[in-house]
Amino acid sequence: MCALPPFGKLWIMPRPDAFPEFENLRSHGKELRQSSLVDLVNAPRRLKTMQLEAEGIFVDMSKALLDERALELLLALARKQGLADGIRAMCEGQPINNTEKRAVLHVALRNKSDRPGFVEGRDVMPEVRAELSKIEALARAVRSGSWRGHTGERITDVVNIGIGGSDLGPRLICEALEPYWNCLPSPLVRPHFVSNVDGADLGRLLKGLRPESTLFLISSKTFTTPETIANAKSARAWLCSKLGEEAVARHFFAISTNEREVARFGIDPSRMLRFWEWVGGRFSLWSAIGTIVAIAIGPERFFELLEGAFVMDEHFRTAPLEHNLPVRLGLLDFWYSTVLGAESLALIPYSQLLASLPSWFQQCAMESNGKGVDRDGFPLSYPSASIIWGAPGTNSQHAFFQLLHQGTRFVPCEFVAAIEPSYDFEGAPHHVMLLANMIAQSEALLLGKDLESVRQDLMKEGRSTEEIEALAPHKVFPGKRPSTVILMERIDPRHLGALLALYEHRVFVQGWMLGINSFDQWGVELGKRLAQTIVEELKGAAPPSAHDPSTQALIARLRNKLKDLLQAKSGE
């Protein structure tokens, strides 16, 4: 087992290929790929071994391409790599983000216990609780109407301007909890989101809003993110053109770690909600980044969301590895991507309210574990994270399930659903149809349909022998395609909090098993830096710099086209 280093020392984590269990896993994986998934599902003790439940979340891995031997090897490797110590190190605020020398303590944001949360020897929980009080106060003020706009009108619309983790998390939660927007005794305050620097994103939204009743939350950890600041400046110009510069004080709040940049933008620091460097952007929805959630559903419901995440944190922190939901899912992710070589995971929520779940988890997993080097900077000799993609069922059944059922690629699927409906219509069994479709797809992926069964069906239809032989191969379903089903009791704040915390922690587990740093994201920096140079070149404000021939030609073409457009507009 790995031992915790002295406080302040950077964490040392072994790679999986340092242990014989990894090669044993690879060998066993090759054997398992050739075995019958149907036989695995029918094995004795399968359900007892492959079904787990905690905190209102039920995980059924019985149709996963995983047997007891693989699970034993995965757990043995996890123990050799010190996963339990790693979980403890994260929860105790050790600087496991070694390239940035930071703690990774988003669990402190929803810590409902009396335990301290130490960062560099300092308990941060008083700061966290103070900031939660500010979030609560603002949410109550907006919802009650005590915070009013510049002209004295109530706030009816709140716009979150952010990108990445400052957008995807709160957007997902607001969409998922839409039934709770107006369930408390206060007028509806509608949440909106702007993330894309494409002017169409902000422009289309502003056409339907009134500046007198609109509040903007500018969400950016550094408050220097170019896309967010560009949208924020345009929103400010829109407001000021209608109400004047002095209206900014009643219509703009900042959510950031950078008070200096907030002040430079023109927002008084007294209207700034804070979070901290030890909170990664994609794990920040539990912080002040979630302010729009608290406004939309009310602070009581927001605290229920945090409570749900906390109980999953406690399960993750205390449950044995073999019975630990995030550990089991993280090990399955590692097994599929790194051992079996699955290039992608299809995440299919059978809920329209969870339509943004694949996009949120895509960032959480791929920005965290899409790395090519280990924590010491050495290239990996094995695959890292899979591509996450997906869309809601049943829509996706009519979009890309053809590839899942009959394509040539190995794509494990994960289905997510709620047992209780959020909307139901008397006499119309929408929810029953939804759940039936999910179960049917899981079964169809497993069983498939062989050539002889297809021939028998075609014979019953009265087809000729020639038609049967020509058509039958096209109607074969190979089957033996793995899937996992995750059920939550209902889509309410508490269960949603538990689900999202479960997903966050499985990302940590997979990254730990890979031997990488899941909590930096240097891969986004290069394109951002190049874009800053190219912006000036496209505007004609700077001479073209050295680029490759393809990039140079694109810049020249667009620069000339943009110049023509500007001249045409000025001549109108």
Q: Which residues are catalytic?
A: 367, 398, 528
The values of phi and psi at residue 223, to 5°, are 60, 30
Sheet holding 413-418, edge to edge: 51-54, 57-60, 483-488, 413-418, 344-349, 387-389
Q: Per-residue b/e over 367-378, b at no fewer than 16 CB within 10 Å?
A: bbbbbeebbeee
Name the strand (E) or helix (H) holding 14.
none
Cis omega (within 30 of 0) for bond into 151: no
Angle between helices 493-514 and 68-80 in degrees, nearest 10 = 70
Say if CB 267 and CB 253 are below 8 A apart.
yes
Query: How far apart, in whole angstroms, are the C-alpha atoms of residue 523 and residue 455?
Result: 51
Report residue 202 as tokens: 């902000």
Query: How far apart, in whole angstroms, are the C-alpha atoms of residue 390 and residue 535?
Result: 33
Query: How far apart, in whole angstroms, are the C-alpha atoms of residue 520 and residue 340?
Result: 26
DSSP single-letter state for residue 491: S
Residues with Cβ within 8 Å of residue 137, at least 6 apart in sequence = none
